[in-house]
Amino acid sequence: MLELLEARSQTLATCESLTAGGVAARLADIPGASAVLQGGLVTYSADLKVLLAGVDRDLITRYGVVSAECAQAMAAGARKACRTDWAVSLTGVAGPGPADGRAAGDVYIAVAGPTSASSAVQLYHWPNLTRGQVRENSVRAALRLLLSVLSTG
């Protein structure tokens, strides 16, 4: 994935809630990541989603922080804030209990690219997993979704 972005001279940012920087950390483990990975936002709270990622507070009020709309806004906001071609975002409930009206294990992951055609959002359900398992599954799913969108866009 990083090689693909580097070949295209494109850059990447992350905006993470429940994974708290896990995707950015996983990418940074790869030698040469600095050619592509510009940085990431950890927006665990709704206030930081607004302040750092530029998510509209009315959108959060209407749809909640665990929603497709919020995930899409987080990805778009990270692209803008970090001045990158691509961004991936994650928002969800790691558990152990429900939050924001959503069950533990519900996670939205979004990718925002240079065009609307190169964007995607996906809902994942991982019930009955531990908090750590939900977070790890989320990191892996984000990387898979990003690679899928990059490969088709």
**CA pair distance 108, 71, nearest whole angstrom:** 6
Q: How confident is the model at residue 153 (pLDDT cuts 50, 70, 90)?
A: low
Quote the percentage of the chain above a pLDDT of 90.
95
128: left (phi over 0), alpha (psi -120 to 50) or beta: left
Q: To the nearest 10°, the Cα dihedral for 129, 90, 49, 52?
A: 130
Question: Does pLDDT of 117 surpass 90?
Answer: no
Question: Does pLDDT of 87 surpass 70?
Answer: yes
- Residues in the chain, overall count: 153
Q: What is the pTM (predicted TM-score) of this model?
A: 0.97
CATH of the domain at 44: 3.90.950.20
Question: Does pLDDT of 100 surpass 90?
Answer: no
Q: For the chain, what is the domain count?
A: 1
